[in-house]
């Protein structure tokens, strides 16, 4: 019984860390830029394919290097798209304009992936890591889920340190709160926007690599990832780094527990928990 509970807890934490990473970039984009980044799912998918391509070109490439390649590639594309299209769309007062721009970007990225790599499912070859195990306190745990959870926690810790412990982080928070006053104080608002867009896309790439380590992905996987990202961000609080991680853990535990009870449920109970949380928030707000 204890071993079963420990296994459920372990799987829930590792899956929850992945879900948190899926939502992290979207939370950063909306929290700072106030843009609903509908291309977030495609950036996740692109990150996965960049890592798969890097390993295919250099079979001996270590996992950290593949992660770095995916992060840099997606971050660069995030900066370019922000400078070329999204930043101009943000100048409109209507928030629907930048949202539609990112929707168009998602279509371009998805079809671009289909054109370049095809529509087949791909996975990241990580060698013996996929089958490796470690024993902790008598419990045998998969090394791959542990590595994935570790990467997610390091990414969240690094993001938290950047936002709350650095000068750039202070500028980012100032731009998020009052971009007009931040500009008067000498902060280059557009420059901060580009950095945030790059970080958002880079975090999405890390999530994509973690997904490709666990399962196969295709150019059409982005829509499903975007749905999970929205649920994580809304549950965790728009723009909250800690909240996103906790929401990801909640949804991960929900999926693991529901899979034990009803193996055919898939993500049904994850979506039900999300819906129940929204109803509870609405009732709580109505009672005040």
Q: Tens-of-pLDDT digits for all 288 residues of the chain?
A: 666 788 888 889 999 999 999 999 999 999 899 999 999 999 999 999 999 999 988 888 888 999 999 999 999 999 999 999 999 999 888 889 999 999 999 999 999 999 998 888 888 887 777 778 877 766 777 888 889 999 999 999 999 999 999 999 999 999 998 999 999 889 999 999 999 999 999 999 999 999 999 888 999 999 999 999 999 999 987 767 889 999 999 999 999 999 888 888 778 899 999 999 888 887 876 544
Asked if 31 and 176 count as a contact pair (C-beta separation under 8 A), the reply is: yes
Report the Cα–Cα distance between both ends of the chain, in Å, rounded: 43
> What sign has the CA pseudo-torsion 56, 57, 60, 66?
negative
Asked if 193 and 87 count as a contact pair (C-beta separation under 8 A), the reply is: yes
What are the beta bridge partners of residue 210? none
Asked if 231 and 267 count as a contact pair (C-beta separation under 8 A), the reply is: no
Identify the CA nearest to 84 among candidates 107, 96, 102: 102
Asked if 99 and 39 count as a contact pair (C-beta separation under 8 A), the reply is: no
Q: Report d(CA 36, CA 38) in Å as an integer.
A: 6
Asked if 36 and 239 count as a contact pair (C-beta separation under 8 A), the reply is: no
Give the three-class secondary structure for 133: strand
Asked if 26 and 78 count as a contact pair (C-beta separation under 8 A), the reply is: no
The two tokens of residue 177 are 């709160």
Alpha helices of 119-267 — where are they, by DSSP H? 143-165, 167-177, 179-184, 189-214, 222-236, 241-261
> What sign has the CA pseudo-torsion 241, 245, 47, 149?
positive
Kindly report the pTM of this predicted structure: 0.92
Phi, psi dihedrals of residue 93, rounded to the nearest 5°: -70, -25
Identify the CA nearest to 67 among candidates 124, 10, 132: 124
Which helix (H) or strand (E) covers residue 134, if one does?
strand 133-136
* pLDDT for the residue 204: 96
């Amino acid at each position: 019984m204890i071993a079963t509970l420990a296994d459920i807890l372990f799987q829930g934490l590792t899956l929850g860390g992945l879900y948190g990473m899926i939502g992290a970039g979207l939370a950063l984009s909306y929290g700072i830029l106030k843009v609903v980044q509908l291309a977030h799912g495609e950036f996740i998918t692109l990150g996965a394919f960049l890592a798969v391509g890097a390993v295919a070109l250099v079979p001996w490439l270590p996992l950290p290097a593949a992660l770095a390649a995916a992060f840099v590639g997606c971050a660069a594309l995030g900066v370019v798209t922000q400078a070329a299209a999204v930043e101009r769309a943000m100048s409109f007062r209507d928030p629907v304009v930048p949202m539609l721009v990112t929707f168009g970007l998602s279509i371009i990225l998805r079809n671009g992936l289909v054109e370049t790599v095809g529509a087949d499912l791909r996975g990241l070859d990580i060698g013996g890591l996929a089958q490796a195990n470690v024993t902790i306190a008598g419990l045998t745990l998969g090394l791959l889920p542990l590595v994935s959870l570790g990467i997610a926690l390091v990414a969240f810790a690094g993001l938290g340190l950047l936002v709350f412990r650095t000068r750039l982080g202070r500028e980012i928070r100032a731009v998020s709160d009052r971009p007009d006053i931040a500009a008067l104080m000498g902060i280059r608002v557009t420059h901060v926007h580009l950095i945030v867009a790059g970080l958002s896309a880079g975090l999405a790439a890390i999530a994509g690599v973690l997904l490709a380590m666990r399962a196969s992905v295709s150019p059409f996987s982005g829509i499903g990832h975007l749905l999970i990202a929205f649920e994580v961000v809304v549950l965790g609080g728009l723009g909250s780094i800690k909240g996103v991680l906790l929401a990801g853990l909640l949804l991960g535990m929900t999926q693991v527990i529901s899979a034990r009870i009803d193996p055919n449920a898939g993500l049904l109970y994850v979506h039900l928990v999300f819906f129940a949380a929204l109803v509870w928030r609405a009732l709580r707000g109505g009672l005040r």
